[in-house]
Structures are given as C-alpha cells and as structure tokens.
C-alpha cells in the first residue's frame, strides 16, 4: 500500500505517505485497534504527536468514523492543562528541524518560512484551543484568523502571517510541479529563477495581494520571546 501511494509514475505520485508518524514510529504496528490507539496516546503520547494531529483529517474509507476517532482524541490534542512546558518542548523540536536546513533558500525551514508560521499558529492552538473551541481547525490560515479574532495575535501580524504563508506555499507548489519531487529549496539557477519570478508575478497580478519579495515575517524566535514576556 505504501508503494501504491508513494510510487513515482509517468503521471507523478498520489500521496507522499510518511508512516513514521504512527504510534511507536518505525517499530510500531501499521494498524492497531481503536482502544490500542486511544491507550497509546493517553499513556505515551508526546507533544509533537499532539502538534501533528492538529493537521489530521480523514481522506478515505469510513470518513465519519475517521472524524469520530479524532473527536475521541480531542482532549489529547487540545488539553486544558499541560504537565510539561509546551513552548520549551516545541522550541527543541524547532531547533532540530532548523539544524537540517542547509540554506536560507529553503522556504520551509528558513527563519520566517512555512514551518515558522505553522509552529506559531499550532503553538497558540495547543495552548488555547482547550478553552477556545473555535481555534480547533486543521487549516493554518483559518487558525491564524481565529487567533486574531480572540486577540492572541494582532490583526497586523495575522495579515502578515497569512500573506506570507500563501506566498511561500505558492513558491512550494511551483518548485514541486517544476521538479516533480518533494523539495522546498529554491535552486540558484538563472533560468529557473526567471521561470519562478514570472510565475510569482502572474500570481501577484491575479491575487492583488502579495509583493515580491515578501515583507518581513515574524519568526519563531521573535514569537517565543514575546510568549516568554507574557
């Protein structure tokens, strides 16, 4: 099944499935009972798994059961009380990810890039969605809107985060369509940079929103410092 989902064909691939995210990682069973999942997360669940499950949604099979399962995990994903310091733990996770970035041209892992924006939104969801149920959403853009609505970020920061998230995701789509591989690094090649610039300018004309290059994005380190001061 993994090969069927991820195999590269003449028409590309269907999904890039990462089964390492399952309970117990590569040593865990590919499937287990409903009780087995619930017990695992209740007893052994880690903070990064809470963060990962924020984005989870059923896409095939019994979709209604998929949502029922996620509803059962709701109190795990969005606890009202943490026994560990979630910001400190997420900072460690972020540092590990940053260590894998070898260039500022990686739009996913660079400071102020895709991952920074997602981590800001998800951290505030983890901290507050247990008490503010409207913050429970898989969609990063909707999460940013709700966070601004309830005053967890300013409207101006929300605007910048949303615009730049869309901007970097647009670049990501162009990169991956152009190369037909999962990549987040812009190649410093004159021809490709010309193609990318034209594609982004066309996008800017259609959307009427984004500039090239994007304005400065609040990154994770700035965000963490602001959290520490609260």
Please name each of the domains of the chain with its CATH number: 1-77 (3.30.460.10), 84-230 (1.20.120.330)
Query: For residue 207, what pLDDT is reported?
Result: 52
Q: Which pLDDT band holds residue 211 (cuts at 50, 70, 90)?
A: very low
Sequence-ordered list of residues with C-beta below 8 angstroms from that of 8, at least 6 positions apart, any chain: 180
Q: Which pLDDT band holds residue 142 (cuts at 50, 70, 90)?
A: very high
pLDDT in tens, 158-188: 999 998 899 888 888 888 777 776 777 777 7
Q: Which pLDDT band holds residue 212 (cuts at 50, 70, 90)?
A: very low
| Better-predicted residue by pLDDT, 167 or 7 | 167
By percentage, how much of the chain surpasses pLDDT 70?
83
Average pLDDT over residues 11-24: 78
For residues 107-131, one letter each, b for 16 or more C-beta atoms within 10 angstroms of the residue's C-beta and e for the rest, the string is: bbbbebbbbbbbbbbbbbbbbbbbe
Cβ 227 vs Cβ 220: under 8 Å: no
Per the listing, tokens 């924020």 go with 54
Closest CA to 141 of 164, 108, 112, 107: 164
In this model, does residue 205 exceed pLDDT 80? Answer: no
Q: How crowded is residue 157: how many other Cβ atoms within 10 Å of its Cβ?
A: 18
Among the ranges given (52-66, 135-149, 160-174), the one the predictor scored with the smallest mean pLDDT: 160-174
What is the pLDDT of the chain when averaged over all its residues? 82
């Amino acid at each position: 099944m993994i090969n069927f989902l991820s195999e590269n064909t003449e028409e590309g691939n269907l999904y890039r499935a990462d089964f390492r995210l399952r309970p117990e990682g590569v040593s865990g069973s590919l499937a287990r009972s409903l009780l087995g999942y619930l017990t695992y997360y209740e007893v052994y669940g880690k903070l990064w798994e809470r963060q990962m499950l924020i984005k989870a949604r059923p896409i095939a099979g019994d979709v209604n059961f998929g949502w029922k399962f996620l509803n059962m995990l709701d109190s795990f994903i969005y606890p009202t009380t943490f026994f560990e310091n979630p910001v400190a733990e997420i900072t460690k996770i972020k540092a590990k990810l940053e260590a894998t970035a070898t260039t500022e041209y990686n739009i996913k892992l660079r400071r102020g890039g895709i991952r920074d924006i997602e981590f800001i939104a998800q951290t505030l969801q983890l901290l507050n969605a247990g008490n503010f149920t409207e913050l429970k959403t898989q969609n990063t853009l909707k999460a940013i809107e709700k966070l601004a609505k309830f005053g967890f970020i300013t409207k101006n920061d929300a605007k910048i985060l949303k615009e730049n998230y869309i901007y970097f995701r647009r670049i990501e789509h162009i990169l991956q369509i152009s190369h037909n591989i999962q990549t987040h690094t812009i190649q410093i090649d004159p021809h490709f940079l010309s193609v990318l610039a034209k594609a982004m300018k066309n996008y800017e004309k259609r959307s009427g929103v984004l500039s090239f290059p994007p304005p400065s994005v609040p990154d994770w380190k700035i965000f963490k410092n602001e959290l520490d001061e609260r």
